[in-house]
């Protein structure tokens, strides 16, 4: 009964904290982007060379896009003439990095972890965007057409108060969309926290297992774990003795390879790009996890 009580307590506390952070940060981000013109944003993304990849990563990092909005934005960028490498860097960075993820990592795992995660994933997204571009990935784009109306600025109130209200309702709508994933993630984390044997976890994901990062990255790949779900699972794993690298590998592989997103991306890119994308996320997960174990 004591274990059950502690498990329920963990679930309630983490759920309340995650919900408050999600709604608050999402409202702020939506409010900021309500003042930014989307067409000008596309023009800003048309940087040349590696600068374009950096811009793609930056845009992916500051926007709270899920798979359903990443794909229309990807279509819009390609149709607007944004360089292929820039688009790939955006696609890699978008599901892994946004202000909410950064603040949640900092609040729950420490700002050193959040900053290292941001730097390592940003560098990887730039490098792989450049590599796929140099390897002729642009030839693997299907002949797609952008449906008019997607990606264009919507009518918004002109005064701050009403924009704030609209931003809050948008954040609330986004929260309802991820609520079930958040509950599942926190429930799994609570179950791990309360019931998973520490010796079993130590063998699979602990520091003493040299293959822990690879094993956890492989486990996370077939799962569709939103970052909002992965963070509470990672917290519970850390409490049970998992290495920080294994947790980072789980977050990247689980959130970076979303089956719904891959399905939609397959309508834009040929299979070689889809396969390359899966390999890229796996390599990112493993390398980032190994580096985390060395530096933290």
- Lowest pLDDT segment from 145-154, 165-174, 205-214: 145-154
Q: What integer pLDDT is reported at residue 155 of this predicted model?
A: 65
Q: What integer pLDDT is reported at residue 152 of this predicted model?
A: 45
From CA 97, how far away is CA 118, in angstroms rounded?
Answer: 7
- Lowest pLDDT segment from 52-61, 139-148, 182-191: 139-148
Quick one: tokens of 203? 């063998």
More confident residue, 158 or 89: 89
Question: Dihedrals φ, ψ of 171, to 5°?
Answer: -60, -40
From CA 224, how far away is CA 104, in angstroms rounded?
Answer: 19
Quick one: tokens of 266? 């397959």
Average pLDDT over residues 20-28: 78
Quick one: tokens of 168? 């809050």
Spans of all domains in the chain: 2-295
User: Which tens digit of pLDDT belongs to each residue from 44-58?
Assistant: 666 667 888 898 898
Mean pLDDT of the chain: 78
pLDDT band at 147 (very low <50, low <70, confident <90, very high): very low
Which residue do the tokens 């909005």 mark? 69
Distances 55 to 47, 58, 159 between C-alpha atoms, Å: 7, 5, 30
Distances 175 to 17, 67, 281 between C-alpha atoms, Å: 13, 15, 26
User: Which tens digit of pLDDT belongs to each residue from 250-269?
Assistant: 888 877 776 656 776 777 78
Which residue do the tokens 């990247």 mark? 252
User: Which tens digit of pLDDT belongs to each residue from 103-118?
Assistant: 888 888 889 999 999 9
Q: What integer pLDDT is reported at residue 290 of this predicted model?
A: 92
Percent of the chain with pLDDT strictly greater than 90: 14
pTM over 0.75, yes/no: no
From CA 75, how far away is CA 80, in angstroms rounded?
Answer: 8
Q: What integer pLDDT is reported at residue 116 of this predicted model?
A: 93
From CA 265, how far away is CA 220, in angstroms rounded?
Answer: 20
pLDDT band at 198 (very low <50, low <70, confident <90, very high): low
- Lowest pLDDT segment from 138-142, 148-152, 268-272: 148-152
Which 8-state DSSP code applies to residue 149? T
Q: What integer pLDDT is reported at residue 148 of this predicted model?
A: 41
Distance of CA 276 to the CA centre of its chain: 18
The total of other beta-carbon atoms located within 10 Å of residue 111's CB is: 12
């Amino acid at each position: 009964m004591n274990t059950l009580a502690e498990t329920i307590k963990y679930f309630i506390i983490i759920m309340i904290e995650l919900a408050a952070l999600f709604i608050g940060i999402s409202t702020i981000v939506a409010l900021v982007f309500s003042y930014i013109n989307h067409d000008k944003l596309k023009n800003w993304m048309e940087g040349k060379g590696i600068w374009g990849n950096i811009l793609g990563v930056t845009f992916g990092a500051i926007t709270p896009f899920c798979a359903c909005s990443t794909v229309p934005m990807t279509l819009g960028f390609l149709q607007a003439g944004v360089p292929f490498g820039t688009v790939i860097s955006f696609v890699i960075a978008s599901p892994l990095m946004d202000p909410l993820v950064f603040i949640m990592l900092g609040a729950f795992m420490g700002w050193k972890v959040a900053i290292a995660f941001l730097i390592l994933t940003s560098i990887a997204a730039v490098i792989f965007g450049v590599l796929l571009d140099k390897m002729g990935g642009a030839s693997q784009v299907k002949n797609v057409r952008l449906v008019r109306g997607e990606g264009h600025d919507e009518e918004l109130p002109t005064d701050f108060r009403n924009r704030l209200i609209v931003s809050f309702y948008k954040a609330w709508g986004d929260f309802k969309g991820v609520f079930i994933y958040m509950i599942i993630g926190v429930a799994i984390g609570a179950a791990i926290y309360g019931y998973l044997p520490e010796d079993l976890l130590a063998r699979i994901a602990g520091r003493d297992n040299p293959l822990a990062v690879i094993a956890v990255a492989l486990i996370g790949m077939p799962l569709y774990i939103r970052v909002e779900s992965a963070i509470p699972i990672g917290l519970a794993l850390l409490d049970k003795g998992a290495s920080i690298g294994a947790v980072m590998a789980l977050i990247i592989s689980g959130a970076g390879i979303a089956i719904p997103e891959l399905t939609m991306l397959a309508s834009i890119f040929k299979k070689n790009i889809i396969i390359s994308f899966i390999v890229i996320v796996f390599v990112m997960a493993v390398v980032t996890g190994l580096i985390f174990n060395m530096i933290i």
